[in-house]
Structure 1
């Protein structure tokens, strides 16, 4: 039995993804996976981050990136488990061979040595959010030196801010917390994913007319598999990538 396009709740924090049962424990989230004896299961980690992957009103877990991964695995006839963790922890677990991969994520210099990314599974553009009346210019040298900025904890955006020595004052665990802190005046600007910040703004009922949005660059979202996993499974990434174009076309109405 192959995974469906989303994971359905059974009870509590238990989800069934096709023939695989995933138990999710929240806060510092841990996961235990059960599958048929002898069935090989690819262990993937993700985060609760709309619209790429998040809990729906009925308790199921789905989103732009989740549906592409599910479609791809189904096309490969590959069993997999999907566990939800705080984002930084998911990446550490993959690095320690406790997970085989994680998504959705963008290219980052410190991932090159130990991961290999798939073809893009979802679009993303980095954007700066500033107040509508802000005179700050994110492209200026003064901005980097003086502006108080923030980004999602564990993200490639935060790593970029650290690497380029911005004045970081926020590193929130979720986009909603990041945006709420920004709106409360705790930072001059935040950088994030266009779709994720827009979704967070909708949930917080923030009028985007109050915000100046400055595009930064396109940063496609991928699945990153550990090189340890790929070494054990030659050809896996090629087969995975071969399924992505058809899956993205099938879900083109949901993915910008």
Structure 2
């Protein structure tokens, strides 16, 4: 009889302790919020656009933009992967076809806005004119728009801007280094491009930077585009991404 009472007492104590543990656990859930469901994995296309995005000699994707975006996504805790693509046109085509969940980095335009939403600015992209110091034809010349042979990168927003404003586009290579070579060979009169991209390419080619002048046209927010489908299936993601950008 005493043995039975002892066992019953031990069982009561065990279940009492177990109940306290469960109560403590559920109280913890109330006061220490956590994500009930993680965001789905992101596949982001990355157009090569050094120094923002480029591949090292060890075949590692890096750059100012890559490092910044990786840090943000790691803080959020969302799984992700980057896919290298040739240019922004390829990235946009992938967005249209649902082959990616977005791309980075890019400036805003109406065509991109049809298929995705741009994040808060991760970086600032200065659009600028570049021309040789001894060239009398400059962006301030009265006839510059009519006669200047201008080059920019293919499938970029700088290309769209030149086209919309009816400049004479003489060259549209994939590589900014090609534009710097053409400028010094005087095959074009000016380059219209992201300032960081141009100066990076110029130094990579070993040219004398003192022989080139810059005139900044405008400064544009430079962010990530996320597809409408991904954002619809992952509510709250864009708000959290934008919040992390600001920190």
Shift of 1:139: 4.3
Q: In structure 1, what is the Cα distance between the partners aligned to 2:231 and 2:189?
A: 42
Whether contact under 8 Å (2:131, 2:213) holds in the other structure is yes
Structure 2 residue aligned with 1:218: 219
Structure 2 residue aligned with 1:51: 51
Q: Kindly indicate whether residue 65 of structure 2 is the aligned counterpart of residue 65 of structure 1.
A: yes
How high is the TM-score relative to the length of structure 2? 0.80
How high is the TM-score relative to the length of structure 1? 0.77
Structure 1 residue aligned with 2:85: 85
Whether contact under 8 Å (2:92, 2:112) holds in the other structure is no
Shift of 1:229: 2.1
Listed as ranges, the matches of 1:1-256 within 5 Å are 40-87=40-87, 88-140=89-141, 142-246=143-247
Q: In structure 1, what is the Cα distance between the partners aligned to 2:192 and 2:179?
A: 9
Shift of 1:97: 1.0
Whether contact under 8 Å (2:130, 2:212) holds in the other structure is yes
Structure (1/2) with the larger helix percentage: 2
Structure (1/2) with the larger strand percentage: 1
Whether contact under 8 Å (2:146, 2:168) holds in the other structure is yes
Runs of 4+ more than 3 Å apart: none
In structure 2, the CA distance between the partners of 1:128 and 1:164, relative to structure 1 (3 Å rule), is: same
Q: Deviations over 1:25-61 (max 9, x none)?
A: xxxxxxxxxxxxxx94201001222111112243321
Whether contact under 8 Å (2:52, 2:66) holds in the other structure is yes
Q: In structure 2, what is the Cα distance between the partners aligned to 1:196 and 1:46?
A: 15
Q: In structure 2, what is the Cα distance between the partners aligned to 1:233 and 1:134?
A: 53
SS of equivalent residue, structure 1 residue 206: coil
Q: Unaligned stretches of 5+ in structure 2?
A: 1-38
Whether contact under 8 Å (2:95, 2:115) holds in the other structure is no
Q: In structure 2, what is the Cα distance between the partners aligned to 1:133 and 1:239?
A: 49
Shift of 1:201: 0.8
Shift of 1:140: 4.9
How many pairs are equivalent? 209
SS of equivalent residue, structure 1 residue 46: strand
Shift of 1:108: 1.8
Shift of 1:159: 0.5
